[in-house]
């Protein structure tokens, strides 16, 4: 059996109230893609009817059962060309309930369907939330999963199907509000080591402007083919073998998952007013909101602890003097260095942390710094949160790379600490490759995740001025990096994310440290990215609220986190890696 198949994304602008015209045009585009060799063809969300319906009564003349007349027409096309087609349509079930539906059709008819599980603001006007879960369908051309638009905002959906062995996620959408291919799309392929075929509509409908950018994204996050605007299709190869190992930056991430620590994913923290939730029984109310300056320090730690400590002190003073920083995050193992690390492991608390405590007190700031920790006979890759008040918290890296397992033991506890700056969660480098980690800290009410890192693998689109060509072709927006994986981590969790990476291009460490804001679709972005040198970057973190019963700041309100559907996420904590 061939392991490489041609796939196609179809981009199309449907017209409301003209269902027959829409279906005829979609069949025309699908047939053209099939004649170009595509075995899997993906069309947009609600492509048969258009999207912006006022209510159930208005959409009622256009809903259908699955199977039904529309799926029969696409079955005939799939049979003719021995291909597989995904269509988006409004479905009605036997009880008269309407759903926003994606249907996978093959030469023998309907293979399966997905009902949009995480509704956007428009679906409640006419449709129920999906009730079929997140399935994967076996076909001769691979294991295929379906997601619809808003579903992919939630890390859990793509992870659920990837854990079931999906080779490809067919994501059909009516995406808006940002330049496409959207960073969310790229991150879901990248973090799950699978293909993502994105079919997005374009055009204007009832004052809503849709953004096109339909594309095929490879497991390493590369955009293999894309359509910027207009009707059409794009074709790319899908190599099933590229999805087998589920690798991110060379690491087989699924076998490194720690599902025994992910039970928090099933909680529904933000379904209640978080101001009430986090002070319930007098336990852990949030620190008061404030304006803070958050800095990431980009540096190249070496093998001499004293030299590293001097660099840390210099960069901390620079951040305080130039930016008035309240918190500075330094890279992973900034104290100990990245080579023969275990030999320089330090006790915590100990002489090194005592010196850092004095530095924090001198500068009246908080510091997050990575170092190798020795505790009895065990060594950990750790991060310390230190403030003027002393050592606040220690976190031991939970998700170790294969190389780290040669010298370090994994940690077994998440760490969240309340400081005058806000509620801070800690992750270290490779931890942030696991979407489960950031989500758990968000559910604990974190304002900020501080992430010391030593990450080599690609996690952003290159700067358009660099010698490395940009992905094929992503239009450059207001910022120089269209996609930064850790910007996505911030937005999907409605928190600030301070990512401090090692800068050592000769050894493959690209830097690209940054402080990223809590709102994916806010422009200009609340962020700062470090230049391609050693130094610092600072952004403002705002956790203030108006004096109201319910939080008015997105970082404390966490709109996106509040829309999760945790009752359908159980497999994330019980299912072993595929």
Give residue 479's pLDDT: 61
Residues 561-573 have pLDDT tens digits of: 999 999 999 999 9
The whole-number average pLDDT for the span 304-322 is 97
> Mind giving me the DSSP string for 9-57?
EEE----TT-HHHHHHHHHHHHHHHHHTT-SEEE--TTTTT-S---SHH
From the list 30, 83, 101, 149, the catalytic residue is 149
- What band does 548 get if pLDDT is binned at 50, 70 and 90? very high
67 burial level (CB within 10 Å; 0-12, 13-18, 19+): middle
- pLDDT value at 21 more than 70: yes
Active site residue 30: no
- The pLDDT > 70 percentage for the chain reads 96
The whole-number average pLDDT for the span 176-195 is 93
Residues 35-57 have pLDDT tens digits of: 999 999 999 999 999 999 999 99
Average the pLDDT over each of 82-91, 168-177, 464-473, 565-574 and give the range with the smallest value. 464-473
Give residue 522's pLDDT: 87
Residues 387-406 have pLDDT tens digits of: 999 999 999 999 999 999 99
Active site residue 436: no
Give residue 577's pLDDT: 45
- pLDDT value at 470 more than 50: no
Joined together, the tokens standing for residue 427 give 């992750």
Query: Average pLDDT over the chain, rounded to whole?
Result: 94
Establish whether the linkage from the previous residue to 524 is cis, with ω within 30° of 0: yes
The rounded Cα 241 to chain-centroid distance in angstroms is 23
Compare 519 and 524 and report the one with higher pLDDT. 519
**Rounded distance between C-alpha atoms, residue 542 and residue 288, angstroms:** 11
Collapsing DSSP states into helix, strand and coil, what is residue 167?
Answer: coil
From the list 6, 19, 116, 397, the catalytic residue is 116
Enumerate residues 6+ apart whose C-beta is below 8 A from 376. none
Active site residue 575: no
Sign of CA dihedral 469, 471, 474, 480: negative
Residues 121-176 have pLDDT tens digits of: 999 999 999 999 999 999 999 999 999 999 999 999 999 999 999 999 999 999 99
Average the pLDDT over each of 248-257, 289-298, 506-515 and give the range with the smallest value. 248-257
**Rounded distance between C-alpha atoms, residue 219 and residue 209, angstroms:** 29
**Rounded distance between C-alpha atoms, residue 30 and residue 12, angstroms:** 11
Enumerate residues 6+ apart whose C-beta is below 8 A from 276. none
Please work out, in degrees rounded to the nearest 5, the angle formed at the alpha carbon of residue 117 by the alpha carbons of 114 and 120: 120
> Mind giving me the DSSP string for 396-430?
E-SS--TTGGGT-BPP----EEEETTEEEEE--GG
Predicted structure pTM score? 0.95
């Amino acid at each position: 059996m061939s392991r490489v198949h041609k796939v196609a994304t179809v981009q199309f602008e449907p017209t409301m109230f003209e269902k027959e015209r829409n279906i005829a045009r979609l069949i025309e585009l699908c047939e053209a893609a099939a004649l170009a060799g595509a075995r899997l063809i993906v069309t947009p969300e609600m492509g048969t009817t258009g999207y912006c319906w006022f209510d159930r009564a208005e959409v009622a003349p256009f809903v259908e059962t699955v199977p039904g007349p529309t799926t029969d027409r696409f079955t005939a096309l799939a049979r003719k060309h021995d291909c597989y087609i995904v269509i988006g349509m409004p479905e009605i079930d036997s009880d008269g309930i309407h759903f926003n539906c994606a249907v996978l059709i093959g030469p023998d008819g309907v293979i399966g369907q997905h009902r949009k599980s995480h509704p956007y603001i428009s679906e409640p006007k006419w449709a129920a939330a999906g009730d079929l879960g997140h399935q994967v369908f076996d076909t001769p051309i691979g294991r295929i999963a379906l997601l619809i638009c808003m579903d992919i905002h939630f890390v859990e959906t793509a992870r659920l199907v990837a854990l079931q062995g999906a080779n490809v996620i067919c994501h059909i959408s009516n995406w808006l509000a940002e330049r496409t291919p959207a960073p969310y799309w790229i991150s879901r392929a990248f973090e799950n080591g699978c293909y993502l075929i994105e079919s997005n509509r374009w055009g204007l409908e009832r004052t809503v402007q849709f953004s096109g950018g339909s594309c095929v994204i490879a497991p390493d996050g590369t955009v293999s083919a894309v359509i910027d605007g207009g009707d059409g299709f794009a074709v790319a190869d899908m190599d099933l073998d590229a999805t087998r190992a589920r690798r991110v930056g060379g690491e087989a991430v699924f076998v490194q998952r720690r599902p025994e620590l992910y039970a928090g994913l099933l909680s529904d923290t933000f379904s209640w007013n978080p101001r009430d939730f986090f002070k319930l029984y007098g336990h852990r109310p949030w620190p008061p909101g404030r304006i803070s300056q958050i800095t990431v320090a980009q540096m190249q730690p070496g093998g001499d602890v004293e030299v590293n400590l001097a660099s840390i002190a210099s960069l901390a003073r620079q951040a305080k003097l130039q930016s008035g920083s309240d918190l500075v995050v330094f890279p992973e193992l900034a104290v100990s260095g990245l080579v023969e690390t275990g030999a320089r492991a330090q006790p915590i608390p100990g002489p090194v942390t005592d010196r850092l405590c004095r530095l924090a007190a001198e500068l009246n700031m908080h510091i997050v710094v990575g170092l190798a920790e020795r505790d009895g006979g065990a060594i950990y890759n750790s991060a310390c949160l230190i403030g003027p008040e002393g050592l606040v918290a220690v976190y031991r890296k939970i998700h170790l790379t294969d190389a780290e397992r040669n010298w370090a033991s994994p940690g077994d506890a998440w760490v969240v600490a309340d400081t005058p700056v806000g509620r801070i969660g800690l992750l270290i480098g490779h931890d942030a490759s696991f979407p489960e980690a950031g989500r758990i800290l968000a559910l604990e009410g974190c304002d900020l995740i501080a992430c010391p890192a030593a990450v080599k693998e690609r996690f952003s689109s290159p700067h358009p001025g660099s010698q490395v060509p940009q992905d094929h072709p992503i239009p450059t927006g207001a910022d120089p990096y269209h996609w930064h994986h850790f910007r996505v981590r911030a937005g999907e969790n409605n928190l600030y994310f301070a990512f401090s990476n090692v800068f050592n291009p000769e050894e493959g460490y690209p830097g690209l440290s940054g402080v990223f804001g809590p709102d994916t679709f806010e422009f200009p972005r609340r962020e700062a990215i470090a230049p391609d040198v050693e130094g610092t970057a600072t952004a403002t973190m705002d956790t203030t609220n108006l004096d109201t019963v319910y939080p008015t700041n997105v970082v404390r309100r966490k709109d996106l986190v509040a829309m999760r559907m945790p009752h359908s996420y159980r497999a994330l904590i019980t299912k072993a890696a595929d």
